[in-house]
Amino acid sequence: MCDTLVVLPHATKEGKLIFAKNSDRSPNEPHVVVRYPEKVHDLSKTPMVKLTYISIPQVERTNAVVLLKPDWIWGAEMGFNDYGLNIGNEAVFTNQKRNNPPSLIGMDMVRLALERTKDAKSALNLMISLLEEYGQGGNCGYDKTFYYHNSFLIADRSKAFVLETAGKYYCVKEVHDYYAISNCLSIGIDHCDIHPDLSKNDPVNFDKKFTDKIFTFFAKSRGRRAFAMQTLQKNAGNITVETVMEILRGHNPRKRENAASVGSVCMHAGGLIGDHTTGAYIGVLSPEGDEYYITASSLPCLSMFKPFIVGKKLPPSCRDEKAGRAFWYKSERLMRYLLSGQADKKGYLKDRDELEKKYMEAFASARNKAEKESVMIEAWAEYGKLLDKYLGPLKDVPYDFRLGSPFYRGYWRKKTGALLEKEGQ
């Protein structure tokens, strides 16, 4: 479960493309942010690359990438490369067989395209060719069995495409102003490319032809997508990072506090179905330089969007998967105390808001890349101190979930017990 959006430059206030995504996964699945450097491969020694389930031929050179990913998956839910290419992946539920033998999964396609291409059109073409050659299949669930097909939002600094799939079939739509995707097919007959077996027939409404109506209904994805599209439409021509943050932090107005909400873009687990937003990011792309805001932690409504820029320096938590996992676990410990009602939520959010505003303004006013790097390093360090401030009084205090319904409390007690056991391994 996820939500992804893009806004082309002419629809934003600053004339820069904005790309953003929430990654909704199992609440106990570590979401890591990791940079992998550009690499030249000796194909005589390593002719193949091992993906999550299968191996495919390696290429001579792979781009430097930043991946936002489940820690056990080779690929990524979302990410970007040094050329400004950004890609986000969504689970979609179709009437084509989903539990195929392990092969290529959507998250692997995201990483392969980021590593091997430099612009949105090239990425789109590669992803279609990968789908045609390897198909798609494999369990993508962390602590459950979860099979699905995939849709993608693919953007560079000036263009964006939507790629939706159903088994071997696909269709493509070019974005002309703004667009949001969720856990549902969205392309009707207004596609610019479609699988050749379908284009021979009368105009195909891809959504109507392939949607699994039952799974899609219970995913509440059309409501989430509508919320994102309506907010973008209302602000078209004046869309900012803050507008997009509002979407990523958005809750269904019918959602009670301390309750699960599969119908919210900022998804909260705790019910019979649905996942949890385990990480989020926003990219602001332009030829003058790309800038990002990343949570590297769950629940955007509680997390801080921290500035990020690709340069010589990195926040320590983004240097490798081990560091990323440790940062996510530390953040998650506080998130669980906030959900349980044991942490000072009001005080934390006040401090979070002040810190976020301070570093967004400092990032925007920095005069060059070196200054932006310094702001980034300081912002991530200060957020670490904020975690310490609110975790300190709760050191060695057992979790005690007392908010919400009995089922909700029991859900979080069970999940948190499993999280602490996993973290201690």
Catalytic machinery residues: 2
- Would you give the DSSP letter of residue 79? E
The CA–CA distances, whole Å, from 17 to 155, 187, 239, 422 equal 9, 22, 10, 39
Instruction: Give me the amino acid identity at 30.
Output: P
* Residue that is written with structure tokens 């005080």 in the block: 347
CA 301 to mean position of chain CA atoms: 15
Say which amino acid occupies 335.
M
Q: Which DSSP letter does residue 310 get?
A: -
Residues composing the chain: 425
Question: To which H or E segment does residue 153 belong?
Answer: strand 149-155
Residue 350: Cβ within 10 Å count: 11
The helix (run of H) or strand (run of E) holding residue 219 is: helix 213-219
What is the sign, positive or negative, of the torsion defined by CA atoms of 326, 328, 331, 335?
A: negative
**391 vs 362: CA distance, rounded Å:** 27
Handedness of CA 262, 251, 301, 213 (dihedral sign): positive
- d(CA 396, CA 192) in angstroms, rounded, equals 57
- CA-wise closest residue to 291 among 240, 224, 328: 240
Q: Are 79 and 100 in contact (CB under 8 A)?
A: no
What sign has the CA pseudo-torsion 365, 371, 376, 382? negative
Taking the C-alpha atoms of residue 200 and residue 34, their distance in angstroms, rounded to an integer, is: 43
CB 33 within 8 A of CB 324: yes
Distance CA 38, CA 233 (A): 38
Q: How many alpha carbons fall within 13 Å on the CB side of residue 195?
A: 17
Q: What tokens appear for 363 in the block?
A: 């990032």
Q: How far apart are CA 68 and CA 184, in angstroms?
A: 22
